[in-house]
Structure 1
Amino acid sequence: MSDRSITDIDIPGVIDTNSTDFIDEFYNPLLTRASEYKRGVGYFSGSWVQSASRGLATLAEQGGSAKWIMSPILDSTDREAIKKGNKARCDEVIRESLLEDISSLETALDNQTQNAISWLIADGVIEIRFAVPTNGLAGQFHDKWGILRDADGNRVAFHGSQNDSYNAQLNYESYDIFCDWKHETDLTRVNKHEERFDRLWNNEVDSVTIHTIGETIRRELIQLRTTDERPYTPPDDESLSHNITLRPYQQDAVDAWFENNHCGLFQMATGTGKTYTALGAMDELNQITDSPLFVVVSVPMTHLASQWAESLKEFDYTSPHFIYGSANPSWKKSLDRIVSDFNLGLSDTEIVITTHTSGSKEEFRDTITRVDGEILLIGDEVHNMGSEHRKKGLLPAYDYRIGLSATPERFYDEEGSEYLLRYFEGTIYKFTIGDAIPEYLSRYNYYPRVVEMEPAELSEYRTYTHKIVSTKNNPQSDEETLSRLLQNRARIIKSAEAKFAELRDIIQESDVDHMLIYTNYEQINQTQKIMTDEGVIHRRFTAEESDDERQEILSAFASGTFEALVAMKCLDEGVDVPSTKKAILMSNSKNPMEFVQRRGRVLRRHGDDKEPAEIYDIIVVPTLNPDAELLESEQSIVEKELDRFNRFVKNANNTTSAELSIQRIRTAYQV
């Protein structure tokens, strides 16, 4: 933990100007410990900078940054022009307003404060954007809130009535304050306030238009300097850059990517840092290329977008754009603006985070092909991009390509797998789970738990087996009928009653702590009932919860508020849950993509914890005493079922005892 943490400050939930000096007791203590400051405010004056100069200077000296959204001073004529949507006139109005503000700064500020603001802008410590209500809102941008983050990622959000001006300090004003490390309610509010700021900053709010100051205005602000000496000591070049150092194998993957003409698939075990590896490649490319770089990060599920955004921050890329419906209903308009600004040279690097579904839509594809510059595609869990529809999102326009997956081959889709290999120009680097244990991933104990079907289930299972054999032997049968029969028979295995008794036994004999339980739709309610009966504090984690709810659930799970999560498919891919210690596999398909990902969730290292993880795998067989007919029909099925066992046992701590525990199956079915 940093020695300058904002958690060291005693921060009350509410402050007011009657009892608190906002500058000395709130702003300066936080700013001197902050690495990032986001502020949305109606009005701002240089006098506020003068008052908070100590905190801002320390922010600058520590390599921190500030983003301010504020309201420009506009008269009624200006507002009418903006309301009518004349872009050229809008830009001119904003420019004239800013020039007037610059002139005011020159006459109103003493040299010291004027120089401070100019140097902060020149060094990129402060970036300013202006907000103008549009689309039905005819008033002013008048909101006032902020978020501060320290080097350890702790955040404080505040919301209240005060503008950043000298006069506001003389008023009776107040702030509500929320600290994300204190409790879940505060965490939720901090997330909401930061999400609100980021959407505004990225011009993703329909009723507000955000204007950047532009390079011309920026230069005029910088020219206010009257001295070549900064009023603060800047960090050296080393501290200005991110402090992420790739692991040796991650750097090997990056080197292989450069050698392969900036294309390739990284086949890396879940939990070995595929995200960091891809961002390391992106960052290195961005440092050496002379051309502006447009980056598209494509994720399989929306809740992974925020996880990528957090990783990007660690590489000092703090303003990615979320371009998909649930995060930004106006994503098409936003993407069009981002590309237009990029083509105009308003930024050297733009990063958009989208989903595989949105990225394959015609509107997304058409807009991306208009990018005037070099484009990098990072495809997370890339095996999901090989379907017939999503392949459309794999554009020739992407100059550079990175595909990430622990299992890039698509199950039962050889054509899709080959397409991905061709598009990304092959798998250029592999790092297996065996390579990663124990240095980078946790050791684990694997406990197969064999259960048999109930007599009624076995009878139904036999009936379906007879129908399946009959259908296969009937040349007039169609594939749809056979598929339905196979699904119905598989459902008997997935929902076998003995699984629930076995689950109860495992919970009773285990110390339930940071446990994941993987279920399916048919199992989840009964699984939760057992957890409740056994006194386990738990929460379900499914596709039904919103992205915000999922983040809150994961945070509560990491802190120990929930002892267990009962999850369906949305925890299979990419979700970082390093605090997990145990997993119970109630439901599994034969798809390696699914069960390999599930194993990976529990093997991520958490701090200095050296204890092996524990994986309980409930394996269902029709019976351990099969007759000749059942042996003949089920032998190949049981053999496929043991494919998961063979993969899991290979790298387990307790290989011998695990092998012994399924010897009964091998003997009974002669596999």
Structure 2
Amino acid sequence: MTDGARGLRALVLRDRYRSDQGDVVAEFFVPSFTVASSYSRAVGYFTSTSMALYARGLEVFAQRGGVMRLIASPHLTEDDIVDIARGYDMRAVLERATLRELDVEQPDRVLDGLGVLGRLIAEGRLDVKLAFVQQAGRVGIYHEKIGVFRDGFGDLVGFTGSSNETGGGLMANFESVEVFRGWVPGDGVRALRLEDEFEALWENRTKNLSVERFPDVARERLVRLGSERPGRALPGVDDALTAVEVPVRDPGHAGVEVRVPARLAIPDTLTVRDYQKDAVTAWLGGGGRGILEMATGTGKTKTAMIAAAKLGEVLARHEQPLVVVIVAPLIHLVDQWLPEVEPFGVRPVAVYGANKKWPQQVDDQLTAVRMGRRPVMVVVATNDSFSGERFQSVLARITQPVLVIADEAHNLGSPAYRAALPQNGTYRLGLSATPERWFDDEGTDALIDYFGPVVFKLGLGEAIEMGALTRYRYVPRLVELTAQETGLYVDLSAQIARLIGSGNELKDADPQSPLGFLLRQRAGVLGHAAGKVAALRADLEARRDEWFQLIYCAEGHRPAERGEEPGPRQVDEVMHLVGHELRLTAHTYVSTTAPVERKTLLRRFGSGDDLRALVAMRCLDEGVDIPDARVGYLLASSSNPRQFVQRRGRLLRRAPGKERAEIFDYLAVPPADAPVNFTVERALLVRELERATEFAELSENYETTLQVLRPLKERYGLMHL
């Protein structure tokens, strides 16, 4: 033992314990329990009497926040084995065997020991699995005996030997245990090998063995016993905030490879901007709850990870772990989060349908968190997987501090998603450039109730001024509807006017209501206006030698008269124009584009020598990181502020060699003499002109833009916008 040694290293441990030389329980097991933070044990049999022998050690272990994993062989009778051979449900047989053991009448000292066991299970500090040999249709006993103690300082002790966790095995029989101390040259490799073998067992990766969860009925029996027997309440888990175990060479251990815990930390290569510091300070000042309303492209992802790292530092001082749950709308956004998280010291688990291994990965990491071996873990889930029953059941079992980070948090305001937000989320961080939900005050209020208020705001103008986003030119193009389009438009406007006249409110229109349907139809006529493609041709021809161009098309097909077939999709018309007529290299990027192909397209687009343009429909909005994009053409007609803010944000991200961006906005309007209801038309136009005005005000060519929009504003008396 060296001066200042702590934990397991402070114990005077021999390399071997044998019954003819002393008491194995008193001299090895009990002292190890008094300093260890985790205990992993694989044994032949586990019976209720063994707990009495460990009562003193386990009480101290529990009071210190110790966490235990146990793999045992169920005590199967001949009848059990015959039933298994006959095809009886394995889980039912295991349940019967464990309950049979617990139903044996026991003295108080054994019941007290079981009470400690039950309280450990209730607190999530003990997990039990049952192992048995299953090979060629035959069932056998798992008879291996290995174990690992770990402490809060990164040291471990591995051991193997002949003792079973039974009264006879520990007291009556002649036993021996070989001990391998992780800090002793020559022992470290053996100790780590035993730990790796246990992990393989726990994860059911050992050939010819089956490892099953402890039956729920038996688990509940123990938990109930734990609440009935006298005993102290278990304190918080005694963990240090470390992120991952990084293999390194310890120069003092003659080449022995040991594992040194690394903290969740801000990478040395990351320059934290002043506004990011202000955002994190504001969030922490709000008790670790609140929304960051930051313009698209200003680094919300990194800001969130900085906040998580700083929170981790605070929890580390209180020796508490942290589970970080990041929720993002779509798979490609989850994929973008993963490489952003890893530089902070954690390898996250991706939770979505394509990753079939995530349930096991999450379960194993949560167990490691409870055991103190992985005090920080991160999962990144899509909204759909996050709200699914399987992941919700995982969230409900977490008792450690949880940080919920919601990317594009506004999406979680829908009834289905907000019902899935975990109430055990100790800390909550919402990220959005536009946290208010469009036409959904109830959903917006629900988000604020859960995450807290907006604690930091960084607007677009401020972000451009400080250099976080690039400058841009805004070029609106007014396109007049054709005669056929005007007919459709006038008819829709008349129907909208009638609904508004009967008491419907335009500003509160439910998207699923009859009024909402008509408004979508109207937007479809404007978005698919034929004149937009002609105007786009002229702008593209003038920039045919430029790279990094994005074209946003209207959704669906061109509207048609009632009873007629819908017209072509605008995205197809644009691709024909770009690829066949102008012969520019381009590719579509739509909802049906496979995730693997999306990554390839973004890489080709960013190379600057392959694809000149991406033609998008319902994509390239939220979160997609394409900083090289320099020219954007907005054909879709939408007054939804979120959509145009997101699309503008795609173009304003900074990139090497990028001095400014250009945004072309194609606004379709009916002819001046169209017979529309002036009052309704003016009310509808307000929202679209507000969008154009906001784009214009922050552009470099504001005065020029005003001149283009002036005739339309004058026609409808909207010069105040």
* Residues 264 and 312, structure 2, Cα contact 8 Å, conserved in 1: no
SS in 2 for 1:295: strand
Quote the sequence identity (%): 31
Structure 2 gaps, min length 5: 1-130, 149-157, 161-184, 210-245, 505-509, 558-569
Letter in 1 for 2:696: V
Letter in 1 for 2:707: L
Letter in 1 for 2:616: A
SS in 1 for 2:446: helix
2:468 paired with 1:440: yes
* Residues 550 and 632, structure 2, Cα contact 8 Å, conserved in 1: yes
* Residues 265 and 426, structure 1, Cα contact 8 Å, conserved in 2: yes
2:374 paired with 1:374: no
* Residues 279 and 456, structure 2, Cα contact 8 Å, conserved in 1: yes
Letter in 1 for 2:442: E
Deviation of residue 631 (structure 1)?
A: 3.4
* Residues 263 and 345, structure 2, Cα contact 8 Å, conserved in 1: no
* Residues 490 and 676, structure 2, Cα contact 8 Å, conserved in 1: no
Deviation of residue 325 (structure 1)?
A: 1.1
1:419 to 430, 446, 449: 446
Equivalent residues in 2 for 1:259-658 (5 A)?
259-289=285-315, 290-317=319-346, 319-326=347-354, 328-438=355-465, 439-473=467-501, 480-510=513-543, 511-519=545-553, 520-522=555-557, 523-532=570-579, 533-560=581-608, 561-607=610-656, 609-623=657-671, 625-626=672-673, 629-658=676-705
* Residues 512 and 564, structure 1, Cα contact 8 Å, conserved in 2: no
Equivalent residues in 2 for 1:28-47 (5 A)?
none
Deviation of residue 323 (structure 1)?
A: 1.4
- Cα separation, 2, equivalents of 1:465 and 1:545: 35
* CA deviation vs aligned residue, 1:443-497 (integer Å, no higher than 9, x gap): 0000001101001110121122223334444689x98544433332322111111
- Cα separation, 2, equivalents of 1:228 and 1:305: 41
Deviation of residue 340 (structure 1)?
A: 3.0
Higher Cα radius of gyration: 2
- Cα separation, 1, equivalents of 2:366 and 2:141: 18
- Cα separation, 1, equivalents of 2:138 and 2:594: 34
* More displaced 10-residue stretch of structure 1: 460-469 or 415-424: 460-469
* Residues 453 and 622, structure 1, Cα contact 8 Å, conserved in 2: yes
Deviation of residue 636 (structure 1)?
A: 1.6
Letter in 1 for 2:271: T
* Residues 118 and 223, structure 1, Cα contact 8 Å, conserved in 2: no
SS in 1 for 2:385: helix
* More displaced 10-residue stretch of structure 1: 359-368 or 634-643: 359-368
- Cα separation, 1, equivalents of 2:138 and 2:596: 34
Deviation of residue 610 (structure 1)?
A: 4.6
- Cα separation, 1, equivalents of 2:456 and 2:685: 33
- Cα separation, 2, equivalents of 1:555 and 1:223: 35
Letter in 1 for 2:352: Y
* Residues 542 and 569, structure 1, Cα contact 8 Å, conserved in 2: yes
The alignment's C-alpha RMSD in Å is: 4.1
- CA distance change for structure 1 residues 367 and 650 in 2, over 3 Å: closer, same or farther? same
SS in 2 for 1:626: coil
Letter in 2 for 1:594: Q
SS in 2 for 1:351: strand
* More displaced 10-residue stretch of structure 1: 585-594 or 359-368: 359-368
- Cα separation, 1, equivalents of 2:458 and 2:684: 30
Letter in 2 for 1:242: P
- CA distance change for structure 1 residues 654 and 86 in 2, over 3 Å: closer, same or farther? farther
Deviation of residue 291 (structure 1)?
A: 0.7
- CA distance change for structure 1 residues 133 and 467 in 2, over 3 Å: closer, same or farther? same
* Residues 81 and 90, structure 1, Cα contact 8 Å, conserved in 2: no
2:684 paired with 1:669: no
* CA deviation vs aligned residue, 1:331-373 (integer Å, no higher than 9, x gap): 4444334333322333111111101222122332221121131
Letter in 2 for 1:305: V
Deviation of residue 225 (structure 1)?
A: 7.4
* Residues 83 and 135, structure 1, Cα contact 8 Å, conserved in 2: no
The aligned residue for residue 255 of structure 1 is: 281
- Cα separation, 1, equivalents of 2:138 and 2:402: 31
Taking structure 1 as the reference length, the TM-score comes to: 0.66
- CA distance change for structure 1 residues 117 and 642 in 2, over 3 Å: closer, same or farther? farther
* Residues 338 and 350, structure 2, Cα contact 8 Å, conserved in 1: no
* Residues 303 and 547, structure 1, Cα contact 8 Å, conserved in 2: yes
- Cα separation, 2, equivalents of 1:603 and 1:90: 64
Equivalent residues in 2 for 1:123-272 (5 A)?
227-228=252-253, 242-243=267-268, 244-272=270-298
Structure 1 gaps, min length 5: 1-77, 101-113, 141-220
- Cα separation, 2, equivalents of 1:652 and 1:222: 52
Count of matched residue positions in the alignment of Structure 1 and Structure 2: 490
- Cα separation, 1, equivalents of 2:305 and 2:265: 18
Letter in 2 for 1:504: R
* CA deviation vs aligned residue, 1:194-247 (integer Å, no higher than 9, x gap): xxxxxxxxxxxxxxxxxxxxxxxxxxx999979457799x99x99997212310
- CA distance change for structure 1 residues 455 and 349 in 2, over 3 Å: closer, same or farther? same
- Cα separation, 2, equivalents of 1:257 and 1:491: 41
Letter in 2 for 1:388: P
Taking structure 2 as the reference length, the TM-score comes to: 0.61
- Cα separation, 1, equivalents of 2:424 and 2:285: 20
* Residues 445 and 614, structure 1, Cα contact 8 Å, conserved in 2: yes
- Cα separation, 1, equivalents of 2:206 and 2:263: 45
SS in 1 for 2:436: coil
SS in 2 for 1:266: strand
